[in-house]
Amino acid sequence: MDRLTAIREKMESSEPLDFEDAKYILQSNELLQIGEIARSLKIKKSGKKVYFVFNKHINYTNLCVSKCKFCAFYRNGDEPDAYTMEPEQIVQELSKMPEGIREVHIVGGLHPTKPFSYYIEMLKAIKTNFPNVNIKAFTAVEIDYFSKISGLGYKEVLIELKKAGLDSMPGGGAEVFSDRVRKKLYPNKIGQEKWLEIHAIAHTLGIPTNATLLFGHIESDEEIISHLFKLRELQEKYPGFLCFIPLSFHPENTPFEGRIEKVDAVRELKVLALSRLILDNFPHIKAYWVMLSPKVGQIGLHFGADDIDGTIGEERVTHAAGAKSPLGLAKESIINLIKNAGFVPVERDALYNEIEVFN
């Protein structure tokens, strides 16, 4: 039996893939067969449905003390384009959105001087003005930083944020769970132990979260695979992950511009398919159109993804690093992308409750 047939049989009998299976997938050129196995698992989990959310991204500041080498978004504070949004400005920004917005996705830099109360006030202001909007905010990296600036433990920080209106957490800041890569690219940022610990605590407090992987820089295949297995293990012990999002590195405006080429679509699709197959205990896999482009994102739906994120409004992190995708997409465009790929668009809320099925 050839290796892919064996992998397919494992998938059909719900047997987990092992490290060597994963390596075979990443290094194989049998792209369509790999996609088909991942797609079969997607169909088993969510049928023909592909989810999207009417959402808006808010990046509240680009000041950041972490200064990660892969990031084109951060500023030190004295540049003309450095900015920080006050809670009232965020409320004003959200007021411009049409009716029906379900989720606000909030992440920002690690601000050098704002106190913990700034983040609490931000959540309260949004919740008071938009009680029906789910607040998906702050990565584990921010939670660790809030713990440092407030003197509170991770659990206490999360409890305070939840009381102020936090509903769920995005999956950013995971990068790749490798101490080797961390030392080189983001030495000032939390590593895998703390990232995983914070998500485990969030899950035990009833705060659902997402997870990401940043790939296409200096990581090895083995580091990608071990990242995925660590997430699978955490979900096994402390369930609460809703969705996994692989993020391909955009080198423009970073020290890697001209030295690292952005990964190609074949690699993006293989990582997407591999994620679906290894993370068989994750309900959803996202083909994040901002990173992939709407076109590759659409193809990603045939490689195991059952979610394409949302309208987004105005994304700044990837666009600072040269993303050529639009700043936002209209709901109709997202519906058409999904329909034209042969799937059924389902508008969801942040927790994957179905709002409307577009048959």
How many residues of this chain interact with ligand V47, rule: CB under 6 A? 21
Residue type, 244: F
Burial class (CB in 10 A: 0-12, 13-18, 19+), 20: exposed
Per CB under 6 A, 300 contacts ligand V47: no
Stretch that binds ligand V47, among 27-35, 118-126, 171-179, 190-198 (CB under 6 A): 171-179
Per CB under 6 A, 62 contacts ligand V47: no
Per CB under 6 A, 350 contacts ligand V47: no
252 phi, psi to nearest 5 deg:
-60, 140
Stretch that binds ligand V47, among 12-20, 207-215, 274-282, 294-302 (CB under 6 A): 207-215
Per CB under 6 A, 289 contacts ligand V47: no
Task: Please provide the DSSP assignment of 192-241 as one string.
Answer: HHHHHHHHHHHHHTT--EEEEEEESSS--HHHHHHHHHHHHHHHHHS--E
Q: How far is the CB of 293 from ligand V47 (least distance, A)?
A: 13
Task: State the Cα–Cα distance between residues 102 and 50, nearest whole angstrom.
Answer: 17
Q: How far is the CB of 48 from ligand V47 (least distance, A)?
A: 22
Task: State the Cα–Cα distance between residues 2 and 5, nearest whole angstrom.
Answer: 6
CA distances from 255 to 76, 80, 211, 221, 231 (A): 16, 20, 25, 22, 29
Q: How far is the CB of 36 from ligand V47 (least distance, A)?
A: 26
Q: How far is the CB of 237 from ligand V47 (least distance, A)?
A: 20
Per CB under 6 A, 210 contacts ligand V47: yes
Per CB under 6 A, 250 contacts ligand V47: yes
Return the sign of the alpha-carbon dihedral for residues 297, 288, 28, 20. negative
Pick the binder of ligand V47 from 317, 334, 335, 338 (CB under 6 A). 317
Binding site for ligand V47 (CB under 6 A): 70-72, 170-173, 175, 210, 212, 214, 245, 247, 249-250, 254, 288, 309, 317-318, 321
